Amino acid sequence: MADEMRAHLDMRVEDLVAAGMARSEAERCARMEFGSIDGAKDDCRQARGVSFVDALGQDLRYALRVLRRSPGFALLCIGIMAVGIGANTAVFSVVNAVLLKPLPYRDPGRIVTLSNVVRTPAGAHALAKLISVPDFQDWHDQSTVFDAMSYYATRRVSVTVGTSAEYARLTRVTQEFFRVFDIQPVAGRSFTADEEQVGAGAVLVSSAYARQHFVEPSRALGQVLRVFDRPVTIVGALPQGFDFPDGTEIWFPATALASPSVTQRTSNNRLAIGRLKRDITLPAASAEMTAIARRLEQAYPQSNSDKGIALTPLLDDTVGDMGAMLYLLLGAVGLVLLIACANVATLLLAKATSRAHEMAIRAALGASRSRIVRQLLVEGLVLAIIAGVVGLVVAVWGTRALVAIAPAGVPRLAQAGVDGTVLTFTLCVCTLISVLFALPPALQVSQVDTNDSLQASAGRTVVGGRGRTLRDALVVAEIALTVVLLTGGGLLVRSLLALQQVSLGFRPEHVLAMEATPQNVQRAKAFFTGLLTDVSVLPGVIAVGAINAPPGNVDSTSTYWVDHLPKELNMATAPPAVMSVVAPGTFNALGIPLRRGRDFGEGDAADAPRTAIINESLARQAFRNGDPLGHLIFCAFDSLEPMTIVGVVGDVRQYGPAREASPECYLPYLQHGFNNATLSIVVRTSGDPGFLAETMRQKAHARSPDVSVKATTMDVLVGEHFAAPRFRAILVTLFGAVALSLALAGIYGVMAYTIAQRSREIGLRMALGATAQNVLWMMLRQGGQIVAAGLLIGLVGAAAMTRLLTTFLFEIRPNDGITYASVVALLGVMSTLTIYLPARRSSKVEPLIALRAD
Amino acid sequence: MAKKSADLLPGTLDMLILKAVSLKPLHGYGVLLRIAQISKDVLDVPQGSLYPALYRLEHQGLINAEWGESENKRRAKFYTLTPAGRKRLREETASWNRLVAAIASSLNATPDEV
């Protein structure tokens, strides 16, 4: 542009000179004729129209200038938004890691688990994940839709590495297991055909296990471990990060270990997994498997009647119930974000009204309404982006806190962090909320009547009419959302308290539980007998016992019959019961009351008549009000020998505090085998049970150097059941508390601002005869209307939303009156206080001062 | 040497520029000279409003601009008429003529024609 105009001037000068003028004279003349060059350039720019990018840059620079002008205000908005964005990002990063990220295997959508589908006594269909080996063989041989199918069984076993014995997770897998995941060893090799035979001794280990014990995966090759009381050699290590299932450290061929139950179709004790062929859809595969199940039903009616097959994608199977809880938390934290937005919107609204003057001037100078709205939106976006950046910092810390307090067993939780997906989420949230909180003030203010606003004094006498409705509506929304959050939190807290009040059936205080697994299964019973004797004479020990699974975990279930075995044994219809193997004195040690008969004693030895003790639930179920003592009971545990019932004990909540007690049958440990040769020694102590742990460990190793032990207290074990409900209750209540402070801040801000705006009106009223009392009531009434509206809407909303919480509530109904009443009372009292303070100040205003002030 | 020069009516500058450029591609200064020439020095274009008008017409797509070399070897921007511009010129000329005819006949009305 400059070049063009210079050329123009030069040509004019040339012409003038040619006409006879002096050069300097010509130049002066030409420039005067042309007029202002910059003015011309400006006009040209105007005529050309400003490009969109230029306008945006202009808006951006102006927005930054505005924010810098009122730093306190900007910081307040940014602070509020950062908390909201940070909390949301933290929860989302957990949701992303646990629920959304695909599994780290090749084409993970193809991997499915195979489960049985059985009919429950209530008539519904339920998934039974454990399947039997003969069923699996038929599925494997008859199906055409799988690339690879495998079954596996996993548990903690005692492993001797070098000279020390410890627990490690071992999974027995069939040949095609690694093909299902399409994974190859990163060092060494996979199993050969020979190594799959009975008696073979080859294992694969995880990279983590190899690194932990042998520094490097390659150095692990050829090392010898002792598992199942036999030496095994490490032949390969799997890639870093692979530890399916449940953090497996050692993989062992399933067929290398003789297992008597592999021929029984009724022994459901394996898990199955497979990789679907590439172009097979899930419904098509399910259809084929269902057909196979029908065929098995007809061929084996005794064991397979009413048994279907279900295919579940691995991710869904792993996640299980976590999804519901995590999405609940995301919803709750989303509400907090909405409240924060509403808060910032009211702040911006108040600010915008005070900028009405500035907007009027811009409108008068020719800015279109859309231009002004765009300017304010850009300001909002800048605020949101800065808040987003700060929020990310909050999120990083928040994610770490979430991971720390989360209950155990949440898959992939450790991977939660801020990655690409999370950043994109944050950006979208920032953009969305900037529109949410910047749009109402923008639309509000750009509607301004130019004439009114330019006359500065005009704004004082009447309360900003349109601004007021919007502001009040925002505060009502905040209060309503807070009611919903606080109600949810209250319900969860009451649920947690109810759970903690539940009687477990035993006394977990001062009880140490030490799990022990000796290597030699044959000598296991002798080991435990000796250890029990050793421990019982230790100082501080009140009572000693042993059980295969302490209350809270169930190791073994089966079915039972009383008095006599029916001719046709149908496991599917016989009543189920929990099976526990115990040592004499266990009931005493755990604090389980003996109701009838006697405890086991020395007399219930291996060669003595078979005895059993049942719990009250089983007695009620089998004998109604009769006396069970002396009757016979048959359990499908390890044999169907008749056992005489010699005692009845009180019920214990075997699955944890949330589930009622099931019928249970206790068997003396000397007369039966127990899974894995593992028992937990339970010791009731007079002092702190922790002190005893080390001594017991030494005693155990003194008896058998290669025994793995793991000691903890019953309090800790019981506490694990409260972890998830506590997590939920803490988080939702925390969100509720944040929401409450934001809502109260919103109420206070709006009240204070309205009063400031109406100070002249108040002065007028007082000068005309209103008392301080009248003014106070007027202000209280106005604020009270807002609070009441918010509470009402909030209660309706809470009644609707809390229905979503039903799965998480224990003994508390979603419309629990006490909770609702408490929330209303809390909010009512706090908001009244918040309204009262500024209202009181307003009534103390000196009328003359108010009237004179401008 | 008082020339009888007339001020440009608003809106007519665009028309004149289009006409000037329609005869032959011109740079800004050339347009100025051409208009003076074809109006026989009656019309005086204020130089400050020439370039904004040129940019406006270019933005509206009625003329095209291209850098080139002027007669005295100077780099200058040359403007040409586009087909849209040609059409606009035709329309503007027609409506201008209609307007002028109407005003002329109104002004020349004698008392007995009313």
B61 contact residues in A (CB cutoff 8 A): none
Residues comprising chain B, all counted: 114
B52 and A5 within 8 Å at the Cβ level: the answer is: no
Per the CB < 8 A criterion, the answer to whether B64 and B74 are in contact is no
Distance CA A749, CA A755 (A): 10
Q: What is the mean pLDDT of each run of 10 residues along chain A (854 residues)?
A: 80 83 82 76 69 78 86 86 90 90 88 87 78 91 93 89 88 92 90 86 92 89 88 92 88 85 77 92 93 91 83 87 86 90 83 76 76 84 90 91 86 85 89 83 68 51 56 88 92 92 92 88 87 91 93 86 83 84 94 94 89 94 90 87 93 90 93 83 89 89 87 91 90 91 85 78 82 84 89 92 86 87 92 86 73 64
pLDDT for B3: 46
User: What's phi and psi for A648, nearest 5 deg?
Assistant: -130, 130
Chain B, window 52-71: residues with a beta carbon less than 8 angstroms from a chain A beta carbon: 52-56, 58-59, 70
pLDDT for A236: 92
B28 and A44 within 8 Å at the Cβ level: the answer is: no
- Please check whether residue A2 touches B, CB under 8 A: no
> Taking the domains of chain A in order of start, what are their residue ranges?
2-49, 108-277, 322-500+723-852, 520-705
Cβ neighbour number for residue A318 with a 10 Å cutoff: 18
A46 contact residues in B (CB cutoff 8 A): 52
- Please check whether residue A817 touches B, CB under 8 A: no
Partner-chain residue, chosen from B29, B51, B76, that has the shortest CB–CB distance to A40:
B51
Per the CB < 8 A criterion, the answer to whether A251 and A204 are in contact is yes
B70 and A11 within 8 Å at the Cβ level: the answer is: yes
Per the CB < 8 A criterion, the answer to whether A634 and A642 are in contact is yes
- Rounded to 5, what percent of chain B is helix, strand, coil? 55, 15, 30
Distance CA A772, CA A750 (A): 21
pLDDT for A459: 44
- Please check whether residue A37 touches B, CB under 8 A: no
- Which residue's structure tokens are 């007079």? A686
Partner-chain residue, chosen from B29, B53, B77, that has the shortest CB–CB distance to A12:
B29
pLDDT for A202: 92
Cα nearest neighbour of A9 on chain B: B29
Cα nearest neighbour of B26 on chain A: A8
B47 and A34 within 8 Å at the Cβ level: the answer is: yes
Q: With residue A789 as reference, give the H or E element that holds it.
A: helix A772-801
* Closest of A93, A496, A90, A101 to residue A333, by C-alpha: A90
Cα nearest neighbour of A39 on chain B: B48
B59 and A48 within 8 Å at the Cβ level: the answer is: yes
d(CA B94, nearest CA chain A) in Å:
25
A33 and B47 within 8 Å at the Cβ level: the answer is: yes
A43 contact residues in B (CB cutoff 8 A): 48-49, 51-52
Partner-chain residue, chosen from B52, B56, B75, that has the shortest CB–CB distance to A3:
B75
User: What's phi and psi for A722, nearest 5 deg?
Assistant: -95, -5
d(CA B104, nearest CA chain A) in Å:
33
Cβ neighbour number for residue A39 with a 10 Å cutoff: 12
pLDDT for A24: 84
Distance CA A583, CA A14 (A): 119
pLDDT for A801: 86
Partner-chain residue, chosen from A1, A39, A48, that has the shortest CB–CB distance to B48:
A39
B27 and A34 within 8 Å at the Cβ level: the answer is: no
Chain B, window 80-99: residues with a beta carbon less than 8 angstroms from a chain A beta carbon: none
* CA angle in degrees (0–180, nearest 5) for A344-A777-A474: 20
pLDDT for A583: 94
A48 contact residues in B (CB cutoff 8 A): 55-56, 58-59
A4 and B28 within 8 Å at the Cβ level: the answer is: yes
Cβ neighbour number for residue A197 with a 10 Å cutoff: 11
Partner-chain residue, chosen from A3, A8, A43, that has the shortest CB–CB distance to B52:
A43
Cβ neighbour number for residue A433 with a 10 Å cutoff: 26
* Closest of A364, A615, A117, A499 to residue A623, by C-alpha: A615
Write down the H helix ranges in A720-771: 723-757, 759-767
pLDDT for A50: 64
So what's the ipTM on this one?
0.74
**Pairing outcome for strands A230-238 and A202-206:** parallel
Q: Is the pTM of this model over 0.80?
A: no
B51 and A35 within 8 Å at the Cβ level: the answer is: no
- Please check whether residue A51 touches B, CB under 8 A: no
Cα nearest neighbour of B72 on chain A: A11
Partner-chain residue, chosen from A8, A35, A44, that has the shortest CB–CB distance to B55:
A44
pLDDT surpassing 80 at residue B71: no
d(CA A49, nearest CA chain B) in Å:
8
**Pairing outcome for strands A164-173 and A250-253:** parallel
pLDDT for A854: 53
Cα A247 → chain centroid: 20
- Please check whether residue A47 touches B, CB under 8 A: yes
Taking one residue from A and the other from B, the number of pairs with CB-CB distance under 8 angstroms is 61
B45 contact residues in A (CB cutoff 8 A): none
A47 contact residues in B (CB cutoff 8 A): 52-53, 55-56, 59
Cα nearest neighbour of B49 on chain A: A40
Cα nearest neighbour of A4 on chain B: B76
Cα nearest neighbour of A6 on chain B: B76
Give the fold, CATH level 3, of B12-106: Arc Repressor Mutant, subunit A (1.10.10)
Q: pLDDT tier at B8 (50, 70, 90 boundaries)?
A: low
Which residue type, as a one-letter code, is found at position A56?
L
> Taking the domains of chain B in order of start, what are their residue ranges?
12-106
A17 contact residues in B (CB cutoff 8 A): none
Instruction: Read off the pLDDT of each residue in B23-32 and give the average, rounded to a whole number.
Output: 85
What are A392's two structure tokens? 């990310």
d(CA B33, nearest CA chain A) in Å:
10
Per the CB < 8 A criterion, the answer to whether A103 and A243 are in contact is no
- Please check whether residue A72 touches B, CB under 8 A: no
- Please check whether residue B3 touches A, CB under 8 A: no
DSSP states of A658-710: TSPPPPEEEEETTTS--GGG-EEEEEEESS-THHHHHHHHHHHHHH-TT-EEE
